[in-house]
Amino acid sequence: MMEFFAMDYAFYVYSSLLAFLSVIIICTKDAFRHLSKTLGHIKNTIHQMESDNET
Amino acid sequence: MWTFLHKMASPRYFYSIATSLIPWFLVSGLILMVAGLINGLFYAPPDYQQGDAFRIIYVHVPSAYISMMAYSLMAFAAFVALIWRIKIAHAVIVGAAPLGAWFTFLALLTGSIWGRPMWGTWWEWGDPRLTSELLMLFLYLGYMALRASLPNLAQADKLSAILILIGAINIPIIHFSVEWWTSLHQGPTLLKAGGPAIDSLMLYPLLAMIIGTTLYFGSLLLVRTKAEVLNREKNSRWAKKMLSGDQL
């Protein structure tokens, strides 16, 4: 564990790594959430239109 | 090739191809990124001048590369959309913009973190590479703000594509800024005459990171473009049929 932080400029190297990993997580979650929200919204609209047609 | 591109212009075909490609791109991209990061951070030798601080290259260079590649892709798609009026091209631009903005922000942030120990400053306003990259972040944000401000889809598509094409002039400026003007930023390492000026032990993890991040970007671009295509095609027969049949 000590070796992990013993690197020169460890603060700068691991801060960059943390920033990179954070952006990767944010982008992944955001993209899949956006797709799932779009799918849900369109499905609801279709169901709404179908039930309106039935009545 | 032309047949494939012609087919890809069909929203229905694009949707089905994207659905099958996403897991392959995502998994292979993440594997390469993990391998590149582990090798770059723990097995590559330290730089003789910068010591271990050089390891920031493994997150900074892929981010900067994606930020420029995403904008170039958007400019190409804007050109295709305006000349040939292909609807998928607008969806690709919409999908790429937020990803490009995030990676540009990341390139600026990691560059700033690298600059502090090496240059003695977090930011230098007079530096052409830093300011032209910041301008690109504003172009991404400006594109998204312009789209959000225009309620008419056709008008938003056209005006935002024109903005993207005008902003494309910034791409060669970013790339050649370190050669054209005096800059704190180092010169090109990989794309230079006579081959990359970097030892193979440092180079291979970097290449793994660049290819891995590109595949990862590709997978998320497909996810976002799929959502945009579906949104635009929600009234078409194929989309309704697919959604009512739960073929997701």
Note whether B35 and B193 are within 8 A (CB): no
Distance from CA of A13 to the nearest CA of B (A): 5
Mean pLDDT of B115-134: 91
Query: B124 lies in which domain range?
Result: 24-41+52-188+216-227
- Counting the structural domains of chain B, the total is 1
Mean pLDDT of B61-70: 96
Query: Which chain B residues touch A15 with a CB distance below 8 Å?
Result: 113
| B247 falls within a domain | no
Distance from CA of B217 to the nearest CA of A (A): 9
| B223 falls within a domain | yes
Q: Do A46 and B243 touch (CB under 8 A)?
A: yes
Q: Is B99 on the interface with A (CB under 8 A)?
A: yes
Query: Which chain A residues touch B226 with a CB distance below 8 Å?
Result: 35
From residue B25, alpha-carbon distances to B201, B204, B223, B226 in Å are 25, 20, 11, 15
Higher pLDDT, A3 or B122: B122
Query: Which chain B residues touch A38 with a CB distance below 8 Å?
Result: 227, 230-231
| B135 falls within a domain | yes
What is the average pLDDT score of chain B? 90
pLDDT of B163 > 70? The answer is yes
- Render pLDDT for A24-55 as a digit per residue (tens, 0 to 9): 999 999 999 999 999 888 888 877 877 777 76
- pLDDT category, B1, cuts 50, 70, 90? low
What's the confidence (pLDDT) of residue A1? 45
Tokens of B197: 């000026």
Q: Do A23 and B113 touch (CB under 8 A)?
A: no
Question: Which of B53-67, B128-142, B231-245 shows the lowest mean pLDDT across its residues?
Answer: B231-245
Dist. CA B187–CA B175, nearest whole Å? 10
| B193 falls within a domain | no
| B2 falls within a domain | no
ipTM summary value: 0.89
Higher pLDDT, B190 or B117: B117
| B209 falls within a domain | no
- pLDDT category, B245, cuts 50, 70, 90? low
pLDDT of B191 > 90? The answer is no
Q: String of b and e for B22-53 (b: at least 16 CB within 10 Å)?
A: beebbebbbebbeebbebbbeebeeeeebebb
pLDDT of B160 > 60? The answer is yes
Three-state secondary structure call for residue B202: helix
Question: Which of A36-50, B147-161, B203-217 shows the lowest mean pLDDT across its residues?
Answer: A36-50
Mean pLDDT of B155-164: 95
Beta carbon pairs, A and B, within 8 Å: 85
Question: Which residues have a Cβ under 8 Å from the Cβ of B68 and sit 6 or more positions away?
Answer: B136, B171, B174, B175
**Candidate from B52, B227, B240 with C-beta closest to A35:** B227
Q: Is B242 on the interface with A (CB under 8 A)?
A: no
